[in-house]
Protein backbone atom coordinates (compact mmCIF):
# COMPACT_ATOMS: atom_id res chain seq x y z
CA UNK A 1 0.00 0.00 0.00
CA UNK A 2 1.33 3.37 -0.90
CA UNK A 3 1.18 5.80 1.94
CA UNK A 4 0.20 9.40 1.43
CA UNK A 5 3.83 10.42 2.00
CA UNK A 6 4.93 8.09 -0.80
CA UNK A 7 2.22 9.44 -3.07
CA UNK A 8 3.39 12.96 -2.24
CA UNK A 9 6.95 12.03 -3.15
CA UNK A 10 5.81 10.49 -6.42
CA UNK A 11 3.84 13.65 -7.24
CA UNK A 12 6.34 16.31 -6.18
CA UNK A 13 9.71 14.55 -6.20
CA UNK A 14 10.63 14.99 -2.52
CA UNK A 15 9.33 13.84 0.89
CA UNK A 16 6.70 16.00 2.63
CA UNK A 17 7.52 17.99 5.75
CA UNK A 18 4.56 16.37 7.51
CA UNK A 19 1.02 15.02 7.32
CA UNK A 20 -1.93 16.69 9.04
CA UNK A 21 -5.54 15.51 9.18
CA UNK A 22 -9.04 16.47 10.29
CA UNK A 23 -12.29 14.47 10.53
CA UNK A 24 -15.80 14.75 9.17
CA UNK A 25 -18.64 15.17 11.66
CA UNK A 26 -22.12 14.11 12.68
CA UNK A 27 -24.52 16.26 14.69
CA UNK A 28 -25.91 14.33 17.67
CA UNK A 29 -28.66 16.89 18.30
CA UNK A 30 -29.40 20.58 17.66
CA UNK A 31 -30.71 21.03 14.12
CA UNK A 32 -31.34 24.46 12.52
CA UNK A 33 -30.37 26.02 15.84
CA UNK A 34 -26.97 27.30 14.68
CA UNK A 35 -28.19 30.23 12.58
CA UNK A 36 -30.64 31.10 15.34
CA UNK A 37 -27.64 31.64 17.64
CA UNK A 38 -28.56 28.56 19.65
CA UNK A 39 -26.82 25.36 20.70
CA UNK A 40 -25.48 22.35 18.79
CA UNK A 41 -23.87 19.07 19.88
CA UNK A 42 -21.82 17.50 17.06
CA UNK A 43 -18.94 15.03 17.21
CA UNK A 44 -15.95 14.31 15.00
CA UNK A 45 -16.08 10.91 13.27
CA UNK A 46 -13.54 8.22 12.42
CA UNK A 47 -13.32 9.31 8.79
CA UNK A 48 -10.66 11.87 7.96
CA UNK A 49 -9.09 14.05 5.33
CA UNK A 50 -5.28 14.09 5.25
CA UNK A 51 -2.98 16.79 3.89
CA UNK A 52 0.64 15.89 3.13
CA UNK A 53 2.51 19.18 2.87
CA UNK A 54 6.03 20.16 1.80
CA UNK A 55 7.59 23.59 2.26
CA UNK A 56 8.87 25.37 -0.85
CA UNK A 57 11.46 28.10 -1.22
CA UNK A 58 9.23 30.40 -3.24
CA UNK A 59 5.67 31.76 -2.74
CA UNK A 60 3.87 29.21 -4.92
CA UNK A 61 1.16 26.87 -3.67
CA UNK A 62 0.68 23.66 -5.62
CA UNK A 63 -2.37 21.57 -4.83
CA UNK A 64 -3.35 18.04 -5.69
CA UNK A 65 -6.07 15.74 -4.40
CA UNK A 66 -6.57 12.03 -4.92
CA UNK A 67 -10.17 13.10 -5.80
CA UNK A 68 -9.15 15.27 -8.75
CA UNK A 69 -6.82 14.86 -11.73
CA UNK A 70 -5.56 18.35 -12.34
CA UNK A 71 -2.94 20.19 -10.29
CA UNK A 72 -3.93 23.68 -9.15
CA UNK A 73 -1.31 26.39 -8.77
CA UNK A 74 -1.63 29.69 -6.93
CA UNK A 75 0.68 32.37 -5.55
CA UNK A 76 0.69 33.68 -1.98
CA UNK A 77 1.35 37.11 -3.47
CA UNK A 78 -1.96 37.00 -5.28
CA UNK A 79 -4.60 35.34 -3.08
CA UNK A 80 -7.91 36.86 -4.09
CA UNK A 81 -11.41 35.45 -3.72
CA UNK A 82 -12.09 36.17 -7.40
CA UNK A 83 -9.59 33.59 -8.55
CA UNK A 84 -10.95 30.79 -6.37
CA UNK A 85 -13.23 28.09 -7.70
CA UNK A 86 -13.78 24.35 -7.50
CA UNK A 87 -12.33 22.18 -4.76
CA UNK A 88 -9.17 24.24 -4.39
CA UNK A 89 -11.27 27.15 -3.05
CA UNK A 90 -11.66 25.20 0.22
CA UNK A 91 -7.86 25.16 0.62
CA UNK A 92 -6.86 28.53 -0.81
CA UNK A 93 -9.88 30.04 1.00
CA UNK A 94 -8.36 28.99 4.32
CA UNK A 95 -5.11 30.81 3.50
CA UNK A 96 -7.12 33.85 2.40
CA UNK A 97 -9.30 33.76 5.53
CA UNK A 98 -6.23 33.45 7.80
CA UNK A 99 -4.79 36.60 6.21
CA UNK A 100 -8.19 38.29 6.43
CA UNK A 101 -8.28 37.46 10.16
CA UNK A 102 -4.95 39.25 10.62
CA UNK A 103 -2.31 36.56 10.03
CA UNK A 104 0.82 38.00 8.46
CA UNK A 105 1.56 35.88 5.40
CA UNK A 106 4.01 38.36 3.85
CA UNK A 107 6.97 36.09 4.56
CA UNK A 108 5.09 32.76 4.47
CA UNK A 109 6.69 30.02 2.38
CA UNK A 110 4.95 28.45 -0.57
CA UNK A 111 3.70 24.88 -0.12
CA UNK A 112 3.14 21.70 -2.08
CA UNK A 113 -0.01 19.92 -0.87
CA UNK A 114 -1.50 16.50 -1.56
CA UNK A 115 -4.97 15.75 -0.15
CA UNK A 116 -6.49 12.33 0.49
CA UNK A 117 -9.70 11.47 2.34
CA UNK A 118 -12.06 8.71 3.40
CA UNK A 119 -14.89 11.12 4.26
CA UNK A 120 -17.63 10.53 1.67
CA UNK A 121 -18.26 13.73 -0.28
CA UNK A 122 -21.73 15.24 -0.14
CA UNK A 123 -23.11 12.64 2.32
CA UNK A 124 -23.77 15.23 5.00
CA UNK A 125 -20.64 14.26 6.93
CA UNK A 126 -18.87 17.53 6.11
CA UNK A 127 -16.00 16.53 3.90
CA UNK A 128 -15.70 20.26 3.26
CA UNK A 129 -14.90 21.13 6.90
CA UNK A 130 -12.54 18.14 7.10
CA UNK A 131 -10.59 19.57 4.17
CA UNK A 132 -10.55 23.13 5.56
CA UNK A 133 -9.49 21.99 9.01
CA UNK A 134 -6.78 19.61 7.77
CA UNK A 135 -5.06 22.38 5.83
CA UNK A 136 -5.86 24.86 8.62
CA UNK A 137 -3.75 22.98 11.19
CA UNK A 138 -0.99 22.48 8.61
CA UNK A 139 -0.85 26.20 7.73
CA UNK A 140 -0.93 27.13 11.41
CA UNK A 141 2.14 25.07 12.14
CA UNK A 142 4.14 25.60 8.95
CA UNK A 143 3.53 29.35 8.86
CA UNK A 144 3.86 29.78 12.63
CA UNK A 145 0.46 31.46 12.95
CA UNK A 146 0.04 30.56 16.64
CA UNK A 147 -3.75 30.25 16.37
CA UNK A 148 -5.81 28.06 18.69
CA UNK A 149 -8.26 25.48 17.39
CA UNK A 150 -11.34 27.65 17.80
CA UNK A 151 -9.68 30.46 15.84
CA UNK A 152 -8.78 27.94 13.12
CA UNK A 153 -12.39 26.69 13.09
CA UNK A 154 -13.60 30.27 12.53
CA UNK A 155 -11.11 30.66 9.67
CA UNK A 156 -12.41 27.45 8.07
CA UNK A 157 -15.94 28.75 8.33
CA UNK A 158 -15.00 32.08 6.72
CA UNK A 159 -13.33 30.13 3.89
CA UNK A 160 -16.54 28.16 3.35
CA UNK A 161 -18.71 31.29 3.51
CA UNK A 162 -16.56 33.63 1.40
CA UNK A 163 -14.39 31.50 -0.87
CA UNK A 164 -16.89 28.72 -1.53
CA UNK A 165 -20.04 30.79 -0.98
CA UNK A 166 -21.92 28.39 1.32
CA UNK A 167 -23.73 30.33 4.12
CA UNK A 168 -23.02 27.80 6.87
CA UNK A 169 -22.51 28.23 10.62
CA UNK A 170 -19.55 27.21 12.77
CA UNK A 171 -20.89 23.75 13.62
CA UNK A 172 -18.92 21.70 11.08
CA UNK A 173 -15.53 23.29 11.66
CA UNK A 174 -15.93 23.38 15.45
CA UNK A 175 -16.60 19.63 15.47
CA UNK A 176 -13.72 18.88 13.09
CA UNK A 177 -11.26 21.00 15.05
CA UNK A 178 -12.34 20.38 18.64
CA UNK A 179 -13.59 16.78 18.52
CA UNK A 180 -12.23 14.29 21.04
CA UNK A 181 -12.48 10.50 21.17
CA UNK A 182 -15.77 9.41 22.81
CA UNK A 183 -16.93 13.04 23.27
CA UNK A 184 -19.41 15.40 21.69
CA UNK A 185 -18.62 19.11 21.29
CA UNK A 186 -21.09 21.47 22.92
CA UNK A 187 -21.06 24.71 20.92
CA UNK A 188 -22.92 27.87 21.85
CA UNK A 189 -23.36 29.54 18.47
CA UNK A 190 -23.93 32.97 20.05
CA UNK A 191 -20.81 33.24 22.19
CA UNK A 192 -18.90 30.75 20.00
CA UNK A 193 -17.63 29.06 23.13
CA UNK A 194 -17.27 25.29 23.00
CA UNK A 195 -16.42 22.46 25.35
CA UNK A 196 -16.28 18.64 25.11
CA UNK A 197 -18.91 16.45 26.80
CA UNK A 198 -18.14 12.78 27.53
CA UNK A 199 -20.30 10.19 25.73
CA UNK A 200 -19.07 6.91 27.30
CA UNK A 201 -20.32 4.91 24.31
CA UNK A 202 -17.72 2.13 24.55
CA UNK A 203 -18.19 1.81 28.29
CA UNK A 204 -21.94 1.37 27.75
CA UNK A 205 -21.40 -0.94 24.77
CA UNK A 206 -23.28 1.43 22.46
CA UNK A 207 -22.70 2.39 18.83
CA UNK A 208 -23.94 5.12 16.54
CA UNK A 209 -25.31 4.08 13.15
CA UNK A 210 -25.45 6.56 10.31
CA UNK A 211 -28.32 5.76 7.96
CA UNK A 212 -27.77 7.72 4.76
CA UNK A 213 -31.11 7.94 2.92
CA UNK A 214 -29.26 8.57 -0.34
CA UNK A 215 -31.94 11.19 -1.03
CA UNK A 216 -30.07 14.22 -2.34
CA UNK A 217 -30.55 17.57 -0.67
CA UNK A 218 -29.84 21.03 -1.97
CA UNK A 219 -29.26 23.60 0.74
CA UNK A 220 -28.59 26.59 -1.46
CA UNK A 221 -32.21 26.71 -2.60
CA UNK A 222 -35.66 25.65 -1.52
CA UNK A 223 -36.66 24.41 1.90
CA UNK A 224 -33.51 25.29 3.83
CA UNK A 225 -33.77 28.96 2.85
CA UNK A 226 -37.49 28.99 3.59
CA UNK A 227 -36.89 27.69 7.11
CA UNK A 228 -34.17 30.28 7.60
CA UNK A 229 -36.65 32.98 6.49
CA UNK A 230 -39.42 31.63 8.77
CA UNK A 231 -37.10 31.84 11.76
CA UNK A 232 -36.14 35.41 10.89
CA UNK A 233 -39.83 36.31 10.49
CA UNK A 234 -40.72 34.70 13.82
CA UNK A 235 -37.92 36.55 15.61
CA UNK A 236 -38.94 39.83 14.06
CA UNK A 237 -42.61 39.46 14.96
CA UNK A 238 -41.68 38.50 18.50
CA UNK A 239 -39.37 41.49 18.80
CA UNK A 240 -36.16 39.54 19.47
CA UNK A 241 -32.85 39.64 17.63
CA UNK A 242 -32.70 35.84 17.30
CA UNK A 243 -34.84 32.90 18.42
CA UNK A 244 -32.20 32.00 20.99
CA UNK A 245 -33.84 34.61 23.18
CA UNK A 246 -37.18 32.77 23.20
CA UNK A 247 -37.56 30.07 25.86
CA UNK A 248 -40.23 27.45 26.50
CA UNK A 249 -42.00 29.92 28.82
CA UNK A 250 -42.43 32.29 25.90
CA UNK A 251 -44.11 29.77 23.59
CA UNK A 252 -47.72 30.48 24.67
CA UNK A 253 -47.19 34.15 23.89
CA UNK A 254 -45.57 33.23 20.57
CA UNK A 255 -48.54 31.03 19.67
CA UNK A 256 -50.93 33.90 20.28
CA UNK A 257 -48.92 36.26 18.08
CA UNK A 258 -47.74 34.14 15.15
CA UNK A 259 -49.50 32.36 12.29
CA UNK A 260 -49.59 28.59 12.69
CA UNK A 261 -46.71 27.72 10.35
CA UNK A 262 -44.34 30.35 11.75
CA UNK A 263 -45.27 29.30 15.28
CA UNK A 264 -44.39 25.67 14.59
CA UNK A 265 -41.05 26.68 13.06
CA UNK A 266 -40.32 28.77 16.16
CA UNK A 267 -41.42 25.97 18.47
CA UNK A 268 -38.96 23.57 16.84
CA UNK A 269 -36.03 25.92 17.38
CA UNK A 270 -37.02 26.79 20.96
CA UNK A 271 -37.60 23.19 22.01
CA UNK A 272 -34.54 21.95 20.10
CA UNK A 273 -32.30 24.39 21.94
CA UNK A 274 -33.70 23.10 25.21
CA UNK A 275 -33.14 19.50 24.07
CA UNK A 276 -29.47 20.23 23.41
CA UNK A 277 -29.06 21.62 26.92
CA UNK A 278 -31.02 18.67 28.34
CA UNK A 279 -28.87 16.20 26.38
CA UNK A 280 -25.70 17.68 27.86
CA UNK A 281 -27.17 17.55 31.38
CA UNK A 282 -28.47 14.01 30.87
CA UNK A 283 -25.14 12.73 29.50
CA UNK A 284 -23.37 14.19 32.52
CA UNK A 285 -25.87 12.86 35.05
CA UNK A 286 -27.13 9.56 33.65
CA UNK A 287 -25.04 8.63 30.60
CA UNK A 288 -25.92 7.92 26.95
CA UNK A 289 -28.60 5.30 27.56
CA UNK A 290 -30.76 8.07 29.01
CA UNK A 291 -30.82 10.39 25.97
CA UNK A 292 -33.11 8.28 23.74
CA UNK A 293 -36.27 10.27 24.44
CA UNK A 294 -34.49 13.52 23.59
CA UNK A 295 -33.25 12.13 20.26
CA UNK A 296 -36.73 10.83 19.43
CA UNK A 297 -38.41 14.10 20.44
CA UNK A 298 -35.98 15.96 18.17
CA UNK A 299 -36.95 13.68 15.27
CA UNK A 300 -40.68 14.30 15.87
CA UNK A 301 -40.08 18.06 16.10
CA UNK A 302 -38.17 18.09 12.80
CA UNK A 303 -40.87 15.94 11.19
CA UNK A 304 -44.01 17.69 12.44
CA UNK A 305 -43.03 21.24 13.42
CA UNK A 306 -40.10 22.11 11.18
CA UNK A 307 -41.18 19.72 8.40
CA UNK A 308 -37.70 19.01 7.06
CA UNK A 309 -37.66 15.20 7.06
CA UNK A 310 -38.48 12.88 4.16
CA UNK A 311 -40.36 9.54 4.26
CA UNK A 312 -37.09 7.57 3.96
CA UNK A 313 -35.71 9.27 7.09
CA UNK A 314 -38.92 8.95 9.11
CA UNK A 315 -39.25 5.25 8.34
CA UNK A 316 -35.56 4.58 9.08
CA UNK A 317 -35.81 6.28 12.49
CA UNK A 318 -39.11 4.63 13.45
CA UNK A 319 -37.87 1.20 12.38
CA UNK A 320 -34.57 1.56 14.24
CA UNK A 321 -36.39 2.47 17.47
CA UNK A 322 -38.97 -0.31 16.98
CA UNK A 323 -36.07 -2.80 16.70
CA UNK A 324 -34.22 -1.74 19.79
CA UNK A 325 -32.42 1.54 19.10
CA UNK A 326 -32.22 3.78 22.17
CA UNK A 327 -33.12 6.76 20.00
CA UNK A 328 -32.96 7.89 16.37
CA UNK A 329 -33.22 11.20 14.54
CA UNK A 330 -32.43 12.92 11.30
CA UNK A 331 -29.08 14.72 11.38
CA UNK A 332 -28.07 17.64 9.16
CA UNK A 333 -30.08 20.25 7.32
CA UNK A 334 -32.84 17.95 6.13
CA UNK A 335 -34.85 17.27 2.94
CA UNK A 336 -32.82 14.09 2.56
CA UNK A 337 -29.38 13.25 3.89
CA UNK A 338 -28.80 11.03 6.87
CA UNK A 339 -30.27 10.00 10.19
CA UNK A 340 -28.48 8.51 13.17
CA UNK A 341 -29.48 5.79 15.61
CA UNK A 342 -27.96 5.19 19.03
CA UNK A 343 -27.92 1.42 19.36
CA UNK A 344 -26.70 -1.35 21.68
CA UNK A 345 -23.62 -2.76 19.88
CA UNK A 346 -25.00 -6.29 19.84
CA UNK A 347 -28.13 -5.12 17.99
CA UNK A 348 -26.42 -2.89 15.40
CA UNK A 349 -26.54 -5.54 12.67
CA UNK A 350 -30.16 -6.57 13.22
CA UNK A 351 -31.34 -2.95 13.44
CA UNK A 352 -29.51 -2.11 10.19
CA UNK A 353 -31.13 -5.03 8.37
CA UNK A 354 -34.57 -4.19 9.79
CA UNK A 355 -34.19 -0.64 8.43
CA UNK A 356 -33.08 -1.91 5.01
CA UNK A 357 -36.01 -4.34 4.89
CA UNK A 358 -38.57 -1.72 5.94
CA UNK A 359 -37.42 0.75 3.29
CA UNK A 360 -37.38 -1.93 0.64
CA UNK A 361 -40.89 -3.14 1.61
CA UNK A 362 -42.16 0.44 1.37
CA UNK A 363 -40.64 0.80 -2.11
CA UNK A 364 -38.25 3.50 -0.90
CA UNK A 365 -34.62 4.06 -1.85
CA UNK A 366 -32.02 1.72 -0.35
CA UNK A 367 -30.01 3.40 2.43
CA UNK A 368 -26.27 3.16 3.14
CA UNK A 369 -25.80 2.22 6.79
CA UNK A 370 -22.50 2.28 8.69
CA UNK A 371 -21.21 2.97 12.18
CA UNK A 372 -19.26 6.06 13.18
CA UNK A 373 -17.00 6.40 16.20
CA UNK A 374 -16.63 9.78 17.95
CA UNK A 375 -12.97 10.58 17.33
CA UNK A 376 -10.18 13.07 17.78
CA UNK A 377 -10.28 16.37 15.91
CA UNK A 378 -7.66 17.98 13.70
CA UNK A 379 -4.05 16.96 14.40
CA UNK A 380 -0.59 16.35 13.00
CA UNK A 381 -0.15 12.68 12.08
CA UNK A 382 3.51 12.53 11.09
P1 LIG B 1 -20.10 17.78 2.44
O2 LIG B 1 -21.45 17.51 3.04
O3 LIG B 1 -19.37 16.50 2.16
O4 LIG B 1 -19.31 18.76 3.25
P5 LIG B 1 -19.96 19.89 0.54
O6 LIG B 1 -20.68 20.14 -0.73
O7 LIG B 1 -20.07 20.90 1.62
O8 LIG B 1 -20.40 18.45 1.04
O9 LIG B 1 -18.40 19.73 0.24
C10 LIG B 1 -17.96 18.83 -0.75
C11 LIG B 1 -16.89 19.50 -1.61
O12 LIG B 1 -15.69 19.67 -0.84
C13 LIG B 1 -16.47 18.66 -2.79
O14 LIG B 1 -17.33 18.87 -3.89
C15 LIG B 1 -15.06 19.18 -3.06
O16 LIG B 1 -15.12 20.41 -3.76
C17 LIG B 1 -14.56 19.46 -1.67
N18 LIG B 1 -13.82 18.31 -1.13
C19 LIG B 1 -14.15 17.56 -0.08
N20 LIG B 1 -13.23 16.60 0.14
C21 LIG B 1 -12.28 16.75 -0.82
C22 LIG B 1 -11.06 16.06 -1.16
N23 LIG B 1 -10.61 15.03 -0.45
N24 LIG B 1 -10.36 16.51 -2.22
C25 LIG B 1 -10.80 17.56 -2.94
N26 LIG B 1 -11.92 18.23 -2.65
C27 LIG B 1 -12.67 17.85 -1.63
MG1 LIG C 1 -19.96 20.75 3.65
Question: How do the domains of the chain map onto residue ranges?
Answer: 2-197, 199-372
Contact 49, 119 (CB under 8 A): yes
Instruction: Determine the distance separating the centroid of ligand 1 and the alpha carbon of 382, expressed in angstroms.
Output: 23
Residue 207 Cβ contacting ligand 1 at under 6 Å: no
158-210 tens-digit pLDDT: 999 999 988 888 999 999 999 999 999 999 999 999 999 999 999 999 999 99
| pLDDT, position 123 | 80
What value does the mean pLDDT of the chain take?
A: 96
Ligand 1: residue whose CA is nearest its atom 12: 128
| pLDDT surpassing 60 at residue 369 | yes
- Per-residue pLDDT, averaged over 95-106, amounts to 97
Atom of ligand 1 nearest to the CA of 121: 3
Cα angle 15, 18, 19; round to 5: 110
Instruction: Determine the distance separating the centroid of ligand 1 and the alpha carbon of 120, expressed in angstroms.
Output: 8
Ligand 1: residue whose CA is nearest its atom 23: 117
Instruction: Determine the distance separating the centroid of ligand 1 and the alpha carbon of 160, expressed in angstroms.
Output: 11
Strands 111-117 and 60-65: parallel
Out of 90, 212, 214, 335, give the residue to mutate to test ligand 1, the one with the largest number of ligand atoms within 8 Å of its CB: 90
CATH code given to domain 199-372: 3.30.70.890
Residue 22 Cβ contacting ligand 1 at under 6 Å: no
Which ligand has an atom closest to residue 130 CA?
1
Ligand 1: residue whose CA is nearest its atom 27: 87
Which ligand has an atom closest to residue 85 CA?
1
Q: How confident is the model at residue 27 (pLDDT cuts 50, 70, 90)?
A: very high
- Per-residue pLDDT, averaged over 88-107, amounts to 97
Active-site residue flag, 172: yes
307-344 tens-digit pLDDT: 999 999 999 999 999 999 999 999 998 999 999 999 99
Which ligand has an atom closest to residue 117 CA?
1
Residues 361, 354: Cα–Cα separation, whole Å? 10
- Per-residue pLDDT, averaged over 137-159, amounts to 98
Residue 167 Cβ contacting ligand 1 at under 6 Å: no
What's the burial of 14, exposed, middle or buried (CB within 10 Å: 0-12/13-18/19+)? exposed
- Percent helix, strand, coil in the chain, to 5, is 45, 20, 30
Residues 251, 343: Cα–Cα separation, whole Å? 33
Closest to 103 in 3D by CA, of 145, 65, 139: 145
Instruction: Determine the distance separating the centroid of ligand 2 and the alpha carbon of 224, expressed in angstroms.
Output: 14
| pLDDT, position 218 | 64
Rounded to two decimals, what is the model's pTM? 0.95
Single out the catalytic residue among 172, 188, 305, 357.
172
CB neighbour list of residue 101: distance below 8 Å, 6 or more residues apart: 151, 154, 155, 158
User: Is the CATH code 3.30.230.10 the one for domain 2-197?
Assistant: yes
Strands 327-331 and 68-75: unpaired
- Per-residue pLDDT, averaged over 207-224, amounts to 83
| pLDDT, position 319 | 98
Residue 14 Cβ contacting ligand 1 at under 6 Å: no
- Per-residue pLDDT, averaged over 90-102, amounts to 98
Residue 50 Cβ contacting ligand 1 at under 6 Å: no
Residue 49 Cβ contacting ligand 1 at under 6 Å: yes
| pLDDT, position 121 | 87
Closest to 108 in 3D by CA, of 173, 56, 48, 30: 56
Instruction: Determine the distance separating the centroid of ligand 1 and the alpha carbon of 334, expressed in angstroms.
Output: 18
210 phi/psi in degrees, rounded to 5: -100, 130
Contact 338, 213 (CB under 8 A): yes
| pLDDT, position 2 | 74
Residues forming beta bridges with residue 196, ordered by sequence position:
185
Residue 128 Cβ contacting ligand 1 at under 6 Å: yes
Out of 69, 92, 127, 332, give the residue to mutate to test ligand 1, the one with the largest number of ligand atoms within 8 Å of its CB: 127
Which ligand has an atom closest to residue 49 CA?
1
- Residue by residue, DSSP assigns 56-110 as -SSSEEEEEETTEEEEEEEEGGG--GGG--TTHHHHHHHHHHHHHTT---TTPPP
Amino acid sequence: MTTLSQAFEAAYGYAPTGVWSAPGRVNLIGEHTDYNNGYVLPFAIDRRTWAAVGVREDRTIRLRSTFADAEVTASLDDLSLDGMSGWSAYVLGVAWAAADAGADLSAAAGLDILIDSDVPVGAGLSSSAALECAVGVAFNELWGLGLDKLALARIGRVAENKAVGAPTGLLDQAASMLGEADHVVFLDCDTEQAHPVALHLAQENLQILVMNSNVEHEHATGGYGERFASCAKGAQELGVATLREVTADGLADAQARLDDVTYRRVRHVVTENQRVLDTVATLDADGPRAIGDLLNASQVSMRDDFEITVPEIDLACDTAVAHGAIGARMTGGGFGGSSIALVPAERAESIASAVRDALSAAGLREPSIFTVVPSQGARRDS
